[in-house]
Amino acid sequence: MTRNAYYVTTAIAYPNGEPHIGHAYEMVATDAIARWRRLEGREVFFLTGTDEHGLKMVQTAQREGLSTRELADRNSQRFRDLAAALDISNDDFIRTTEERHFRSSQEIWNRMAAANNGDIYQSTYKGWYSVRDEAYFDADELTDGEGGKKLAPSGAEVKWVEEDSYFFRLSAYQDRLLKLYEEQPDFIAPAERRNEIISFVKRGLQDVSISRTTFDWGIPVPNAPGHVMYVWVDALTNYITGVGFPDDKSEQFKTFWPADLHVIGKDIIRFHTVYWPAFLMSAGLPVQKRVFAHGFLTSEGKKMSKSLGNVVDPFAVVDEFGADPVRYYFLREISWGQDGDWGREKFVNRSNADLANNFGNLAQRSLSMIAKNFGGQMPPRQLGSGEDNKVIAETILAIERMTVAMATEQLHEAAAELVAALSAANLYFAEQAPWGKKDDMARMGAILATTADIVRRAAIAAQPFVPTAAGKMLDLLAVPADQRQLEHALDPDLFIAPQTQLPPPEPVFRKFEQAKAG
């Protein structure tokens, strides 16, 4: 039996700058997954937050003439604001500078230090470090940049560092990690990423440096004056802090750990599928169940960069279009797990076609005809009508296919199924032409009731994607709050009761204009 609790997380972003559209994308995708699980009736805990330690934060603050804490406070709030603007349903927001997280990180450190006669040992680190990636690199991973600079695979400059450091015995975990990937084939998704990680681990793992001594913006290593934890040790630990660690006897921890899913971007997959499970194994804690690495977003086909001036501000986009259409674009237009693009023209086309024309019009046309011809009271269906039964059965099948797609978080496929069901319903509506049935009001009513029922089912299933609009549609259909779960969309015998008085219809989705050329 699968457990009912479900714990899902986003990566925690560095608040060294304003959030961009890539951060918005990750929040929205994870939110749609969390909402879908709730729709299925699961007890969800959804965590997001900010990753506030490390040299990158220190250096950015220096450049901006702020204290590191001021920078962290200011920008962390912007990530919280973004979550609110996008209608993200997170249950908690963690900051790694919080006291609870210090306790948690020090406890996992102590457990790792105590494990296997010491998975943590002291030595000297000599090697390359990229501040932008907050990551160490081997010489053979680097390329030559301008002016003799050495570059990490991300293109960020690396610097040679030599310092006294604690190390984690990652090399001892190679076999256990390979066994994990074999025994849990869905531990890493998508599959291409899994193959990459397996071959990386098979090439052999080196121990990792996990403390720094050249700055103090971090969590102190227990009993080691002058050492702060390497930012990734404390960053990854947020996932257990968020559910109550170090109190691992607490109800919350027992209910939600191990996490069902960490959603992250493809650039940080090694940290999540190699380091993190090894840390957990070392500390004697259960390993998370799955990691999904999504792709990267570009802006109008180009990599986003401050120098190109094409970094898309998610607040501006939400201000202009509203959260639902932006969410929908991310979820439908970008194949989950692949790279994708934010493009304004594509956005307007997608939103107008699928939301305003397909979904919105079907609701608006059927509901205004019910208002006009039946005083806003839901007319009865005609039980024997094959056409009506067929289109309802098709809708239910499409929602079942959405459920299958969502079992492996295939967000864009689930969204596509929904839209296909609505297209079929639009076709039914056009063929049945209820406006021409003035001489057979029973038939007109049955067509409208059937269509309204499809809108009800679709709106229930659409809630994880476009929560506000879907909720509004369900209000317009007078669907009670306790009948908005997935089971109510799939139940072949559940309909809006005839005679139910509906509120006056109003449009739910706007149509957008393309930007004028020139």
Return the residue of 297, 418, 489, 496 that touches ligand MSP, per CB under 6 A.
297
What's the closest the beta carbon of residue 7 comes to ligand MSP, in angstroms? Answer: 14
Q: Does 285 bind ligand MSP (CB under 6 A)?
A: no
Task: Specify whether the CB–CB gap between 328 and 355 falls below 8 A.
Answer: yes
Q: 474 vs 397, 400, 414, 447, 458, CA distance in Å? A: 20, 20, 20, 19, 10
Return the residue of 8, 12, 94, 444 that touches ligand MSP, per CB under 6 A.
12
- By CB under 6 A, which span of 260-268, 401-409, 414-422, 433-441 interacts with ligand MSP? 260-268
Closest of 323, 418, 329, 412 to residue 88, by C-alpha: 323
Q: Does 496 bind ligand MSP (CB under 6 A)?
A: no
Nearer to ligand MSP, 78 or 488 (CB): 78
What's the rounded Cα separation, in Å, for the pair 373 and 445? 8
Q: Does 277 bind ligand MSP (CB under 6 A)?
A: no
**Cα dihedral across residues 242, 245, 247, 250: positive or negative:** positive
Q: Does 208 bind ligand MSP (CB under 6 A)?
A: no
Nearer to ligand MSP, 283 or 461 (CB): 283
Nearer to ligand MSP, 56 or 381 (CB): 56
Is the bond into 505 cis (omega within 30 degrees of 0)? no
What's the rounded Cα separation, in Å, for the pair 466 and 462? 6
Residue 412: half-sphere exposure toward Cβ, Cα within 13 Å? 14
Return the residue of 158, 236, 454, 508 that touches ligand MSP, per CB under 6 A.
236
Q: Does 24 bind ligand MSP (CB under 6 A)?
A: no
Q: Does 267 bind ligand MSP (CB under 6 A)?
A: yes
Is the bond into 190 cis (omega within 30 degrees of 0)? yes
Report residue 77 as tokens. 């709030």
Q: Does 93 bind ligand MSP (CB under 6 A)?
A: no
State the binding string over 425-454 for ligand MSP (x if CB under 6 A, else -): ------------------------------
What's the closest the beta carbon of residue 13 comes to ligand MSP, in angstroms? Answer: 3
User: 95: helix, coil or strand?
Assistant: strand
Nearer to ligand MSP, 264 or 285 (CB): 264
Task: Specify whether the CB–CB gap between 301 and 339 falls below 8 A.
Answer: no
The identity of residue 399, as a single letter, is I
What's the rounded Cα separation, in Å, for the pair 212 and 462? 47
Q: Does 268 bind ligand MSP (CB under 6 A)?
A: yes
To which residue do tokens 């202009």 refer?
A: 320
Report residue 462 as tokens. 């659409």
What's the closest the beta carbon of residue 181 comes to ligand MSP, in angstroms? Answer: 20
Q: Does 14 bind ligand MSP (CB under 6 A)?
A: yes
Nearer to ligand MSP, 108 or 458 (CB): 108
What's the closest the beta carbon of residue 133 comes to ligand MSP, in angstroms? Answer: 8
Return the residue of 11, 86, 285, 363 that touches ligand MSP, per CB under 6 A.
11
Return the residue of 190, 218, 265, 471 that touches ligand MSP, per CB under 6 A.
265
Residues 37-66 close enough to bind ligand MSP by CB under 6 A: 51
Report residue 445 as tokens. 């009513």
Can you name the residues that pair with 189 across neighbouring β-strands?
292
What's the closest the beta carbon of residue 78 comes to ligand MSP, in angstroms? Answer: 12
State the binding string over 390-429 for ligand MSP (x if CB under 6 A, else -): ----------------------------------------
Q: Does 26 bind ligand MSP (CB under 6 A)?
A: yes
Neighbours of 358 (CB within 10 A): 21
Closest of 76, 2, 94 to residue 43, by C-alpha: 2
What's the closest the beta carbon of residue 370 comes to ligand MSP, in angstroms? Answer: 43
Return the residue of 88, 94, 235, 425 that touches ligand MSP, per CB under 6 A.
235
**What's CA 488's distance to the chain center, in Å?**
25
Look at phi and psi of residue 137 and say left if phi exceeds 0, alpha if psi is from -120 to 50, else beta. Answer: beta
Residue 136 CB partners (closer than 8 Å, separation 6+): 125, 127, 128, 129, 208, 209
DSSP secondary structure code for residue 363 in this structure: H
Q: Does 23 bind ligand MSP (CB under 6 A)?
A: yes
What's the rounded Cα separation, in Å, for the pair 105 and 164? 20
Task: Specify whether the CB–CB gap between 170 and 203 falls below 8 A.
Answer: no
Nearer to ligand MSP, 52 or 248 (CB): 52
Return the residue of 8, 22, 76, 94 that touches ligand MSP, per CB under 6 A.
22
Contacts to ligand MSP by CB under 6 A: 11-14, 22-23, 25-26, 51, 235-236, 238, 264-265, 267-268, 296-297, 304
